[in-house]
Amino acid sequence: MVNIKICIQKCNHKCLKSAIDDHLISNIKLHFDLVIKSFDALQQNIRQYKEEINKLNLENETLKVELQLKSKKDDI
Ligand SMILES: [Zn+2]
């Protein structure tokens, strides 16, 4: 039975299990770039989440102020 292994670094490389080490070593630069790329994508996601959180916080603060103003007006 031929033992085919898919490269763990998501470079879509398939080869014999016995050749995967050679592939990993001879493509270090490619794999490094892939890791950096997925790291960048992750950071981009985090940045977007943070922006979303900031937006929601701001909305929350705005609603609080509006509520305060409204209850003050009701007091008068
Ligand atoms: Zn690979």
Summarize pLDDT for 26-45 with one digit per residue, the tens.
999 999 999 999 999 999 99
Band of residue 56 on the pLDDT scale cut at 50, 70, 90: very high
Please give the structure tokens belonging to residue 7.
């490269």
> How far away, in angstroms, is 14 Cα from ligand 1 center?
8
Q: Which residues contact 8 (CB under 8 A, 6 or more apart)?
A: none
Q: State yes or no: pLDDT of 1 exceeds 70.
A: no
> How far away, in angstroms, is 5 Cα from ligand 1 center?
10
> How far away, in angstroms, is 17 Cα from ligand 1 center?
12
Delimit the domains of the chain by residue range.
4-75
> How far away, in angstroms, is 40 Cα from ligand 1 center?
19
Question: How many residues can be counted in the chain?
Answer: 76
